Structure 1
Amino acid sequence: MSVPLEDFERLSPAKQKLLLARMEKLRHQQQGGEGREEAIPRSPRRETGAPFPLSFSQLRLWLVDRMDPGDPAYNIPLALRLRGPLDASVLARVFTEIVRRHESLRTVFETVDGQPVQRIDPPAPVSLPLVDLSGLGAEAREAEALRLAAAEARERFDVPRGPHLRLRLLRLAAGEHAALVTMHHIVSDGWSMGLLFGEIGALYGAFLASRPSPLPELPIQYPDFADWQRQRLSGEALQEHLRFWREALAGVPLVLDLPADRPRPAVRSSRGASIRALLPPDLSASLAAVGRSGGETLFMVLLAAFGVLVSRHAGAEDLCAGSVVANRNRLEIEGLIGFFVNTLALRIDLREAARFRDVLDRVRRTTLGAYAHQDLPFERLVEELQPARDLSRPPVLQVLFVLQNAPAGDLELPGLTREPLAVPEETSQVDLMVDAIEVPGGIAATWRFSTDLFDAPTVERTAVRFRVLLEA
């Protein structure tokens, strides 16, 4: 399989990453004489009535939840301001249909013989609670809307019992509302939020015009994937992935300490904050050109530079930085709302790297190999590496770099305009994470950090150093 460079560059980051993973996997299959992979089937448990297992990713969050029930660091909040004539009853019907379509949104978690399993509740009408703020003055109304949105983002879910989707509609004025949508990560991810946008737009327009749903039924559901994953990641297939990751990470330190504003607490919390920085379009274009010269994607260039930055701050020449992949490398799961995203531990080895080009070459090889073995859940990798138990830090990965690649979804609501409601972020799952996305004005980067360790000015200075490094 070959793709002209100019065609590759026109793809979104999501499609670039997916194409690279598929090309690398195809190469491995050809070398091993493997044929085409079969589609994920509907689970035979549907015939027997047996409960479904949790996916590996769900199991990790279930275990995390046992230690800190409902930790809001795993909430995925969305707050949108909607202007125009909104039909709240139609919007409630839209969410009812989305919950019917996706079993993940009707999942509850039980324990059977000491093991967690998932059970699917039957479809039921979804309510859309309305809070009327229109009687307040403009300044008080805006402050109360932001307060309610922040409180909603922090509110803990009852993970075992569900539901894992919460909705609230704020009436701000005639023809102005704020929609608050929050999902727990155990049933959702970034790609799922894009799917949610797309389905809301398609269904709202259809139902408003008294048309039936235009969306096709889904071929499988998330519990089918969870059951298939458990069966597939066993035996030789599992061992092949484990061999790759053991070799890729052999000898790399699994602890990384950045200079902090205060000592690391004995038990980390999920308290966090964020700052934002913008890399201008001319810099973004020059970085992409650097990548093209050596066959690297923009993500690879940014990751390599981030590795250099972290290395200088932590005094470590060999380190692990995490990133995430959508893990939607099969057609039958691309349309499912669910927790598919996987975290990759990417080794950045700067030892004897005399030039940035040397670092880039290593990062390219590391990333392509990781993409080809992205099916191994991060949770299973942690189990294999057996890091020393340390409640003061996340296991294996303390820093992450992400270039967002999930489709944003097309949320077009007839007669309505939308814009984000600016709600401050107050959680962090790791010490430091850079969440970047390409925008018309360049590359927008959100630097999320643990407030157990860092103050905002420290992270702001780090973001400035990152830009200076990229401009060098």
Structure 2
Amino acid sequence: MERELIGVWQELLGVDDLGPEEDFFFRGGHSLLAIRSTIRLKERLGVDIPYPVVAAHPTARALAAWIHETGAQSAEAAGKEPAGLSHWDRGRPAPLSPAQEQIWILQQLHPDSSSYHFQALVHFDGDLAVPALAAALNGVVERHEVFRTSVHLGADGAPVQRVHPHDPYVLPLTDLSTLADDERADALRELTGKLLAERFDLERPPLVRWHLVRLGADAHVLLHVEHHLIHDGWSYNLFLGELAEGYRRAVAGREQAAATHTFDFLDVAVWQRERLESGELDGQLAYWRDRFSAPPAPLELPADRPRPAVPSFEGRALRFTLDAELSAGLRQFARGRGVSLYLALFSGWLAHLNRLTGQRDLCVGSSLANRVLPETQRMIGMIVNNLPMRVAVDPGLPFTDLLAATRATLVGAAEHPDVPFHRILAATQSSRDVSRNAFFQVSFGFHDAPLASLALPGVRMAVTEGISNGSAKFDMNIVVVPRLEQSIGAAHGEHGDSITLVWEYATDLFDEATVERFAAEYRQLLRWVVQHPETPLKECAVEAGPGTVAETIVAIWSELLHQPVIGPEDDFFALGGDSMLAIRTAARLGERLGVQVPALEVLRHPTVRELAARIAELGDAAGRVPDAGAAVLR
């Protein structure tokens, strides 16, 4: 068994010298590769190994011992193999998947909310061939049925979905290139706000919208908005990869690729529904019922305002990029401890929540990709399952103990991954408080799904995902976007190695300054635990105020210019900036600092030091900008 495990891991890691005692994660493995290894092992050996078991036994020798000790065997041999996927008749309405049903219920309860919309901006710098982009989009729509699916009430009152024939999507184009810089930025902001505010009619496909904006001869931005009924993070990265490949085909004069998958999302939705309704998942449900027989107390974060009786679901989102030194330190720490980056960051977040609330019994929502079937690896659809992760945090113990406790929780969840959250609630008969989400009020996501090469001929393609549409699903929802971990199939370093945090928060409860403080303290805590993993958590003294203007500038430049390290005297133009990027910089500065920064000021003050000083002057006039940030300008 050891030899077979080593063979599979070497294939995935691209090495030929892996030893039986070498750590899979230390040699470059991460959660995506671990999941792929479990799929490959099942295909070759007929052995079912949940991903967290790999995380807990990261050497071939340890994992082989686990297989031997637990008597793990082929699910088929054990009589547990679920029925495989079968083709659903597309002429008949199909049930929603359990995850889709959960989202549909929430949408019906809050019909005017856009909380379950996803939106992103795709930036194209260079000579974009608009017809080729439109052809690529239509290729994706034709290959994947979710982009041609509608949702209706069935005859029995339950929601159903229908797949429709491909109707060519006409890509709208708005030309703002003739406007002055300031006017263009305002017009783009107004257009984006209008498009984000539009609701979807679930009975009229597609449940996605694209709108292209021309900012200049060599600058375009594609606004992408879709309903979570057809979306998860893994799917979006697949979409981006297929969009890029379709564009390359179109500009080369080649036909768009035909669908190669045997099954599509509708077949998975029916399969998941049948497993749930047949009682096949009763054993998994029993695990969750036991886990939450006594529900956790609500998480009481220090808020700026009392919680309203009924949430408005209004919110905002801030973006923070961890600096290069901290990012490298976290990755090195995770490899050295034989854990994933996700586990290290999630455990750090739990430690931070304990500091903020004083509570020890913590429950945080987090998502499992749920793509254990080989057929789902290249499938676009809503497959992810968001589950309650309950961890006991003892501040008298070191971070290494918290890592172990968190890993045990994730192992348990991944061994029982298929029960939808609303079924867990029903099974535990938990009383509902309509002022807050049940079980967890904070969610933590880690988007390390594979992102293929986005290299285009003559065009640079970059993505800003998770932009705010003015809503919030939870009190706080933190999404980590680790570019290096997404880079399977892309050229080394193409996507960079930054770690970005998208921090969505409910404006019913929190002011922006409070969230900035939480984020700054989280970064400080991460630095501390990396340096003191064996020291009791209660000894961590974190004193971090809101990020300075200079820190904000550095973070924005790092995002837009794809530069992991930026110094106070680095020149915006020398780093690759141009007038279009200056406009985007000004827009983001306005969003994060609450002060209008004309794009012309970015052009006139091209270093971090100069621009921070100028914004401080503008802020003095407005009376609301923090210190320019001498600490980072030394």
Q: Report the counterpart of residue 316 of structure 1 in structure 2.
A: 359
Kindly indicate whether residue 25 of structure 2 is the aligned counterpart of residue 8 of structure 1. yes
Distance 2:70 2:93 in 1: 33
Question: Could you give the per-residue CA deviations for residues 142-181 of structure 1, whole angstroms, max 9, x where no partner exists?
Answer: 2211321233223211123332011211122223322112
Q: Report the counterpart of residue 469 of structure 1 in structure 2.
A: 525
Q: Spell out the pairing of 1:39-118 with structure 2 (5 A cutoff).
A: 40-46=84-90, 49-69=91-111, 71-112=113-154, 113-118=156-161
Give, in angstroms, the shift of residue 344 of structure 1: 2.1
Distance 1:106 1:70 in 2: 23
Q: Spell out the pairing of 1:177-326 with structure 2 (5 A cutoff).
A: 177-253=220-296, 255-292=298-335, 294-326=337-369
Q: Secondary structure at the match of 1:346?
A: strand
Distance 2:376 2:82 in 1: 13
Q: Spell out the pairing of 1:440-459 with structure 2 (5 A cutoff).
A: 440=496, 443-459=499-515
TM-score, normalising length from structure 2?
Answer: 0.69
Give, in angstroms, the shift of residue 432 of structure 1: 1.1
Q: Report the counterpart of residue 436 of structure 1 in structure 2.
A: 480
Give, in angstroms, the shift of residue 441 of structure 1: 5.7
Gap change, CA 1:236 and 1:167, over 3 Å in 2? closer
Distance 2:112 2:455 in 1: 32
Q: Secondary structure at the match of 1:158?
A: coil
Contact 1:57/1:339 (CA < 8 Å) preserved in 2? yes
| Further displaced range: 388-397 or 36-45 | 36-45
Distance 1:187 1:210 in 2: 30
Question: Could you give the per-residue CA deviations for residues 263-285 of structure 1, whole angstroms, max 9, x where no partner exists?
Answer: 11111122111233343344344
Q: Secondary structure at the match of 1:213?
A: coil
Kindly indicate whether residue 138 of structure 2 is the aligned counterpart of residue 121 of structure 1. no
Distance 1:294 1:85 in 2: 46
Give, in angstroms, the shift of residue 53 of structure 1: 0.4
**How many residues in Structure 1 have an aligned counterpart in Structure 2?**
470
Q: Report the counterpart of residue 346 of structure 1 in structure 2.
A: 389
Contact 1:323/1:401 (CA < 8 Å) preserved in 2? yes
Contact 2:367/2:386 (CA < 8 Å) preserved in 1? yes
| Further displaced range: 416-425 or 114-123 | 416-425
Q: Report the counterpart of residue 146 of structure 1 in structure 2.
A: 189
Give, in angstroms, the shift of residue 43 of structure 1: 2.8
**Letter in structure 1 aligned against 2:181:** A
Give, in angstroms, the shift of residue 33 of structure 1: 6.0
Q: Secondary structure at the match of 2:25?
A: helix
Distance 1:12 1:180 in 2: 31
2:75 to 24, 34, 52: 34
Question: Could you give the per-residue CA deviations for residues 281-306 of structure 1, whole angstroms, max 9, x where no partner exists?
Answer: 44344444544555432222222221
| Further displaced range: 315-324 or 432-441 | 432-441
Question: Could you give the per-residue CA deviations for residues 27-59 of structure 1, whole angstroms, max 9, x where no partner exists?
Answer: 59954762275684233434xx43200001111
Distance 1:227 1:441 in 2: 38
Give, in angstroms, the shift of residue 407 of structure 1: 1.8
Give, in angstroms, the shift of residue 19 of structure 1: 4.8
Distance 1:418 1:296 in 2: 32
Contact 2:136/2:244 (CA < 8 Å) preserved in 1? no
TM-score, normalising length from structure 1?
Answer: 0.91
Q: Spell out the pairing of 1:125-140 with structure 2 (5 A cutoff).
A: 125-140=168-183
Distance 2:51 2:504 in 1: 31
Q: Which has the higher contact order (CA 8 A, sep 6+)?
A: 1
Give, in angstroms, the shift of residue 11 of structure 1: 2.7
Give, in angstroms, the shift of residue 386 of structure 1: 3.2
| Further displaced range: 24-33 or 401-410 | 24-33
Contact 1:57/1:379 (CA < 8 Å) preserved in 2? no
| Further displaced range: 456-465 or 170-179 | 170-179
Distance 2:106 2:340 in 1: 34
Distance 2:94 2:133 in 1: 31
Gap change, CA 1:14 and 1:270, over 3 Å in 2? farther
CA RMSD, aligned part only?
2.7
Give, in angstroms, the shift of residue 197 of structure 1: 0.9
Gap change, CA 1:468 and 1:217, over 3 Å in 2? same
Gap change, CA 1:274 and 1:337, over 3 Å in 2? same
| Further displaced range: 57-66 or 1-10 | 1-10
Give, in angstroms, the shift of residue 351 of structure 1: 4.9
Distance 2:159 2:420 in 1: 18
Distance 1:162 1:208 in 2: 28
Distance 1:391 1:18 in 2: 40
Gap change, CA 1:235 and 1:86, over 3 Å in 2? same
Gap change, CA 1:310 and 1:116, over 3 Å in 2? same
The structure having more radius of gyration, on CA atoms, is 2
Distance 1:425 1:44 in 2: 35
Distance 1:364 1:170 in 2: 44
Gap change, CA 1:419 and 1:268, over 3 Å in 2? same
Distance 1:337 1:83 in 2: 27
Percent of residue pairs identical = 34
Distance 2:476 2:230 in 1: 24
Give, in angstroms, the shift of residue 349 of structure 1: 0.6
Q: Secondary structure at the match of 1:61?
A: helix
**Letter in structure 2 aligned against 1:86:** L
Question: Could you give the per-residue CA deviations for residues 193-229 of structure 1, whole angstroms, max 9, x where no partner exists?
Answer: 1111111111122122221224542211111111111
Distance 2:334 2:177 in 1: 52
Distance 1:85 1:290 in 2: 42
Give, in angstroms, the shift of residue 237 of structure 1: 2.9
**Letter in structure 1 aligned against 2:502:** T
Distance 2:330 2:127 in 1: 44
Q: Secondary structure at the match of 1:122?
A: coil
Give, in angstroms, the shift of residue 341 of structure 1: 1.3
**Letter in structure 1 aligned against 2:509:** L
Distance 1:6 1:343 in 2: 29
Distance 1:32 1:12 in 2: 24
Gap change, CA 1:24 and 1:415, over 3 Å in 2? same
Distance 1:421 1:316 in 2: 34
Gap change, CA 1:211 and 1:294, over 3 Å in 2? closer
Distance 2:258 2:31 in 1: 26
**Letter in structure 2 aligned against 1:35:** E
Distance 1:183 1:438 in 2: 22
**Letter in structure 1 aligned against 2:96:** L
| Further displaced range: 26-35 or 166-175 | 26-35
Contact 1:271/1:427 (CA < 8 Å) preserved in 2? yes
**Letter in structure 1 aligned against 2:270:** D
Contact 2:25/2:339 (CA < 8 Å) preserved in 1? no
**Letter in structure 1 aligned against 2:204:** R
Structure 1 residue ranges without an equivalent (≥5): none
**Letter in structure 1 aligned against 2:422:** E
Q: Give 1 or 2: higher strand fraction.
A: 1
Give, in angstroms, the shift of residue 260 of structure 1: 0.6
